Amino acid sequence: MSHDRDDLPDRHAPELPAPRGPLSAGVLALLRGEVPPPGPEGADAADPYGDDLQLALYCCYELHYRGFAGVDPAMEWDPGLLTVRRAMERRFLAALRRDVPVHDDLRSAVKELLTEPAEGTSVTWFLRDEGELRHLREYAALRSVYHLKEADPHAWVLPRLWGRAKAAMVSVEFDEFGGGRAERVHAKLFADLMADLGLDTSYGRYLGPSPAPALAVVNLMSLLGLHRALRGALVGHFAAVEITSSPGSRRLAEAMRRTGAGPAAEFFYDEHVEADAVHEQVVRHEVIGGLLEEEPYLEGDVVFGMDATVFLEDRLADHVMACWRANGTALRAPLPDTVAAAA
């Protein structure tokens, strides 16, 4: 059943972004109710990591989160849209299966995740040592496409887990969702960080300026979260995030302190230094341990989820550092200086 969208408050739903090619133009037109769905053959011709496919896929997935202003909520299960989404997912997954160097076993994959990158080789090192406020603002803007829905895609795995894995996953998600306190929900803490940095905290505000590598990172989470068949990879993805978060968050907290970004900006990352050191242990030993005790044949999928996450994060880091080293913007357009200037 559809509603008259004009009568509903779209306070939490973002505006539709501008298309970035024929595939995203077709999907966006369908969301606006204008045309029949684009054929799946459009997905087969698109760059699996490129702006057109990644934006189109992101828009399909967003219907499962908050949707878009003016778009009928019933589009979430529109068969035509699901058909083109499936074609895009197949193209994206096939590229990852082809391109991601996958470890032979879980032990070696985890060992590599636990090894810190060499100093100076990652975005967080750069931000800690040399980052200016403009870099921190850009970093927060492009991370906001995930952090304003932090932990949401992982909640989809809960009905697909049992026993130890389920109990442990819920305990980590409970922390991510604020432990019962709305003001401590991690997505809210990130909005507070954005406010300190003079960014617009509206959900989805920076979807348009976000480059394809940033969208691909979030699309991987949505893809793995929405498909029960990929539950092992979702758990692997979550483990990769939690294992690498604590040291990275420490560097980002230092960057926020050094640049005087503000107390909420520091707090978001300070909170993750503490919380994710615990989450890492719980995810490794209880979530993965519990899942593989129940379903040992999923080990390869867990490893694939870890390695695909690292692969896409590395692509994003390469993009960001190349832009910043060339003194340019890592976004598709530079940010205005402040929210007031944007208004």
- Candidates 279, 284, 287, 324: give the one binding Fe ion (CB under 5 A): 279
Q: 213 to 232, contacts with Fe ion by CB under 5 A? A: none
Minimal distance in Å, beta carbon 293 to Fe ion?
A: 22
Q: 164 to 183, contacts with Fe ion by CB under 5 A? A: 176
Question: For residues 100 and 308, is the Cβ–Cβ distance under 8 A?
Answer: yes
Please state the three-class secondary structure of 51-93 as a single string.
HHHHHHHHHHHHCCCCCCCCCCHHHHHCHHHHHHHHHHHHHHH
Minimal distance in Å, beta carbon 178 to Fe ion?
A: 10
- Write the DSSP assignment of 10-30 as a string of letters: -TTSPPPPPP-SHHHHHHHHH
> Based on CB atoms, which residue is closest to Fe ion, 135 or 186?
186
What helix, strand, coil percent values describe the chain, rounded to 5?
A: 70, 0, 30
> Based on CB atoms, which residue is closest to Fe ion, 86 or 285?
285
DSSP 8-class letter at 338: S
- Which single residue brings its beta carbon nearest to Fe ion? 186
Minimal distance in Å, beta carbon 49 to Fe ion?
A: 26
Minimal distance in Å, beta carbon 31 to Fe ion?
A: 30
Q: Give dist(CA 343, CA 341) in Å, integer.
A: 5
> Based on CB atoms, which residue is closest to Fe ion, 176 or 266?
176
> Based on CB atoms, which residue is closest to Fe ion, 46 or 235?
235
> Based on CB atoms, which residue is closest to Fe ion, 24 or 144?
144
Minimal distance in Å, beta carbon 186 to Fe ion?
A: 4
276 binds Fe ion (CB under 5 A): yes
Question: For residues 268 and 199, is the Cβ–Cβ distance under 8 A?
Answer: no
Q: Which stretch binds Fe ion (CB under 5 A): 158-166, 199-207, 279-287, 318-326?
A: 279-287
Question: For residues 198 and 129, is the Cβ–Cβ distance under 8 A?
Answer: no
Minimal distance in Å, beta carbon 279 to Fe ion?
A: 4
Q: Give dist(CA 195, CA 277) in Å, integer.
A: 26
Give the distance from CA 91 to its chain's centroid: 19
Question: For residues 131 and 257, is the Cβ–Cβ distance under 8 A?
Answer: no
Minimal distance in Å, beta carbon 235 to Fe ion?
A: 14
Question: For residues 195 and 204, is the Cβ–Cβ distance under 8 A?
Answer: no
The number of residues that bind Fe ion (CB under 5 A) is 4
> Based on CB atoms, which residue is closest to Fe ion, 244 or 259?
244
Among 60, 235, 259, smallest CA distance to 164 is for 235
Q: Which stretch binds Fe ion (CB under 5 A): 15-23, 129-137, 269-277, 297-305?
A: 269-277
> Based on CB atoms, which residue is closest to Fe ion, 89 or 276?
276
186 binds Fe ion (CB under 5 A): yes
The residues binding Fe ion (CB under 5 A) are 176, 186, 276, 279
